[in-house]
Structure 1
Amino acid sequence: MLHPKLGRRNNPRAEECILELLGHWRRTGRPVIHVQHLSRSEDSVFWPQQSGVEFQERFQPSMGEWLIQKQVPDAFCSTGLEVRLREAGIDQLIIVGVATHNSVESTARTAGNLGFEAWVVEDACFTFDKADFFGNAHSAEEVHAMSLGNLHGEYATVVSTARILQAD
């Protein structure tokens, strides 16, 4: 997500961490699932008819990797993802991506609620500055931290890229 409309973000190394995990998953022959948001709203930065919605070249799905296209933040909502995971015998998910407070959090919550063992990689995610309901501005770092705090221990386990790679 590189749309300027989204504003200032945190974690400038997130893409490096995602690429490190993606490379490791590919080298070890693990299943990789790419999720692409294609919004139903023309006002959205995810509207299919605009630049920036396509995958960046470095994140292009490889042959045999799954591509899930979603219309809302939650990758499980109306995509068939749960059925495909269960049919494949996959019960553990490592979740990375953008935005921590939106798609990552909603997908991780659903994964946890459905009984999947969900792991969110904190340094392989990022988000943006955001105002709360009352109009108080919060930095992307604060939004990221709160979102991870919402998830950890209840819906998912929050870890670093290094921890995931060391566990292998």
Structure 2
Amino acid sequence: MTIDLDRAVLLPIDMQLAFDTPPWPRRWNEKVDPNGLALLDFWRAAGRTIIHVRHDSVQPGSSLAPGSPGNAFRPGFEPLAGEQLVTKSVNSAFIGTDLDIRLKRLNAKHVVTFGISTDMCVSTTVRTGANMGWDMILVPDACDCFDLPDGQGGIVSAEDVQRAHVATLGFEFARIMTTAELTNLRAAA
């Protein structure tokens, strides 16, 4: 299936400062910010729709709670004038928000996702969106995730978490594309 870029909405998910400090574990992808910014630049240059997603935690003491420094967007990821923002308090950007209706009103066809973290909010949003009938496109090189405890006293590396989640999402729920593949596409004439 091809991509109609004029009906593709870019959905950056949880590109927030909290993930750079404890209690969050080690992340692996040093290119998450440059690749994410390249996608934003590509969409903005063409005047295409971007809907930013921010996690506004309702958990007491969360580094993602509104008003906490970690709730802020990472440098360069702040919505610009005219760009939309969806706030969520759960893992999926579709649950408890009006994202689905916004996409319908835009006559969107494709939802291009990236962000932090691949295995949590990005994955849950991709899975929900696919189940709702959206053509979900995941950009793994603009995603990041964390080292996680394996429940047996060990750690699953962030790289292994990423590889497994990209594989499952690509097998069932989304098309997988790189930042370069997307930014080299041209709109249909």
Q: Report the TM-score, using the length of structure 1 for normalisation.
A: 0.95
Which residue of the partner structure matches residue 53 of structure 1?
71
Which residue of the partner structure matches residue 3 of structure 1?
21
Q: What is the distance in 2 between the residues matched to 1:6 and 1:113? A: 29
Residues 19-38 of structure 1 show CA distances to partners (whole Å, capped at 9, x for unaligned) of 00100100001100110000
* 2:37 aligned partner, one-letter code: L
CA RMSD of aligned residues (A): 1.3
Instruction: Find the residue that maps to 1:4 and give its secondary structure.
Output: coil
Q: What is the distance in 1 between the residues matched to 2:174 and 2:154? A: 27
Is 1:100 the equivalent of 2:118? yes
Instruction: Find the residue that maps to 1:40 and give its secondary structure.
Output: coil
Which residue of the partner structure matches residue 164 of structure 1?
182
**Deviation, structure 1 residue 55:** 1.1
Is 1:147 the equivalent of 2:165? yes
Which residue of the partner structure matches residue 91 of structure 1?
109
Q: What is the distance in 1 between the residues matched to 2:92 and 2:100? A: 12
Q: Any residues of structure 2 matched to 1:4-153 within 5 Å, and which?
A: 4-153=22-171
Instruction: Find the residue that maps to 1:36 and give its secondary structure.
Output: strand
The 4+ residue runs of structure 1 with deviation greater than 4 A are: none
Instruction: Find the residue that maps to 1:146 and give its secondary structure.
Output: helix
* 1:4 aligned partner, one-letter code: P
**Deviation, structure 1 residue 54:** 1.0
Residues 82-106 of structure 1 show CA distances to partners (whole Å, capped at 9, x for unaligned) of 0110111012011010001101000
* 1:153 aligned partner, one-letter code: F
Q: Which has the higher contact order (CA 8 A, sep 6+)?
A: 2
**Deviation, structure 1 residue 112:** 0.7
Gaps in structure 1 of 5+ consecutive residues = none
Instruction: Find the residue that maps to 2:107 and give its secondary structure.
Output: coil
Gaps in structure 2 of 5+ consecutive residues = 1-18
Q: Report the TM-score, using the length of structure 2 for normalisation.
A: 0.85
